[in-house]
Amino acid sequence: MATVIAMPEIRDVDRDAVHTLPLATIPFKTAGLGKTRMIKNSHLQSVIEIFEDDSAGSGQLAVESLHQVYSNIEANDIKLLRSLAKLYSYDVFGLRVQLRNMGIPVNDHDHLKLSSSKQKELAEYMKHFTERLIMEIYGSDDESVKDYGDVLALFRHPDVNLAREKLRIMSQRLGIDIAGVPKFLEDYGDIYLSVAYFRQCMDSVQPAIDDFESSVEEIINHPQLKQNANLVAVSTRLNDKIQNLNKVAHKRFAVFSQSTDDMWDGITAEKFSGFKELVEANHTAIGGILCTLNVKMGAWMAKFPNKDSGGPVKRADFILTDMKQGL
């Protein structure tokens, strides 16, 4: 009788991160590899994290050094890891596109979904999108359908006639068969969940970006530090790059917002399909931008958690030794 090998459980924090890929997602042949994860470290290098805890820190190995731990690692696994290391981010939405394009299989497609806790956390971001759907299709006077959960509940509503009538209204409004409504709702929820996820990623780094900009301003005007031409040049260049990446991300969301408004001007399934294609086409790019910002700004905030942490000299040193690496 064949032995069934249980796959390592994937932690929510790893599944939901933009910079972490739990290797249990991919069917590797080398035993034990699935218990580790590939991460973008603070230098934006893709490395295998063998262990991580508060006391011992993070044990990292480059793909080419894995034989130090896995002496019999499969050649095909190394080849696969090299391909994964080239990806710019490891968020679940970008991974769906990139793994499919690269022909890389996954152990379970549920691994490429956000955790239930993250989805609940994003409820406030999703509220605007779901309320718009309800309003456009059912209007404000329909007391029986108030939120997205009520729409989904129609499929198991005990009053069959009521459910059928509500679904008929939706199918008529969207120009699709009633049988196509469940797929539309699934796609609608997932695509706007991706927008909400990336929006939260962007919002979370704004305080750090502002703090970094203020620190650079203080450094280049510091009586002693401004004498260091290299420091001033590096600090200015890094701040410009971070600000530009942030602006690009904001512009992408502005496009999403405008496209959403255009879509609801005479909503049809075809218009939504066009919006869905637009967002999915941006998953890889915006994931890469936000991965860079989250990793770099995360390192900055870990080192200087508040405005009084460190001083201009320590911050200048961190810019030269850590922040510039990978950028």
The total number of structural domains that make up the chain: 2
**Nearest-angstrom CA–CA distance, 292 and 245:** 9
Residue 285 is predicted with a pLDDT of: 94
Is pLDDT at 1 greater than 60 in this prediction? no
Tokens read off for 163: 């459910």
Is pLDDT at 23 greater than 90 in this prediction? yes
Strands (E), the chain: 20-22, 37-40, 46-53, 57-61
In a domain, 233, yes or no: yes
In a domain, 185, yes or no: no
The last residue of a domain, from among 69, 96, 113:
113
Q: What's 53's DSSP letter?
A: E
Residue 173 is predicted with a pLDDT of: 84
Grade residue 5 by pLDDT with cuts at 50, 70 and 90.
Answer: very low
In a domain, 187, yes or no: no
In a domain, 154, yes or no: no
Residue type, 1: M
Residue 6 is predicted with a pLDDT of: 52
Residue 3 is predicted with a pLDDT of: 40
Nearest to 34 by CA among 65, 57, 11, 2: 11
Residue 54 is predicted with a pLDDT of: 79
Is pLDDT at 162 greater than 80 in this prediction? no
Is-contact 39 19, C-beta < 8 A? yes
The last residue of a domain, from among 113, 138, 159:
113
Is pLDDT at 139 greater than 80 in this prediction? no
Look at residue 89 and give its three-state secondary structure.
coil
Structural domain that includes position 106? 12-113
Residue 240 is predicted with a pLDDT of: 98
Residue type, 68: Q
In a domain, 262, yes or no: yes
Pick from 83-92, 123-132, 256-265: least confident: 123-132
In a domain, 194, yes or no: no
What is the pTM (predicted TM-score) of this model? 0.89
Phi/psi-derived region of residue 218, left when phi > 0, alpha when psi is between -120 and 50, beta in every other case: alpha
**Which helix (H) or strand (E) element contains residue 298?**
helix 269-303
Alpha carbon 135 to its chain's center:
28
In a domain, 190, yes or no: no
Grade residue 205 by pLDDT with cuts at 50, 70 and 90.
Answer: very high
The last residue of a domain, from among 86, 113, 140:
113
Residue 181 is predicted with a pLDDT of: 84
